[in-house]
Amino acid sequence: MSKQEQQTQFSRQIKLGVVAAYNAMLAFKKYKQSPVVISRDGQILHVPAEEMPLLPESGK
């Protein structure tokens, strides 16, 4: 496997891990019925977890 292929595979694995962590966080927030706190345009927002979209877990 070439270095480029290794880097591509590693990048794909990182992306899958981030998606899995995000979806797990949303499931936890829904279970605890607590909002997701985000920053948008310099303002802190409390968004209900039900309004946040799940990310698809594709390997692309």
Q: Which residues contact 16 (CB under 8 A, 6 or more apart)?
A: 57, 59
pLDDT at 59: 54
Reported as a single tens digit per residue, the pLDDT across 5-59 is 999 999 999 999 999 999 999 999 999 999 999 999 999 999 999 999 999 987 5
The answer, as to whether pTM is greater than 0.75, is yes
User: Does residue 58 lie within any of the structural domains?
Assistant: no
Residue 60 located in a structural domain: no
User: How many domains in the chain?
Assistant: 1
pLDDT in the model for residue 1? 84
Q: Residue 44: give the domain boundaries.
A: 3-51
How far does the chain reach from its first CA to its final CA, in angstroms? 19
The secondary structure element, H or E, covering residue 10 is helix 3-32
| DSSP-derived secondary structure for 20-49 | HHHHHHHHHHHHHT-PEEEEETTEEEEE-G
Rounded-to-integer distance, Cα 26 and Cα 23, Å? 5
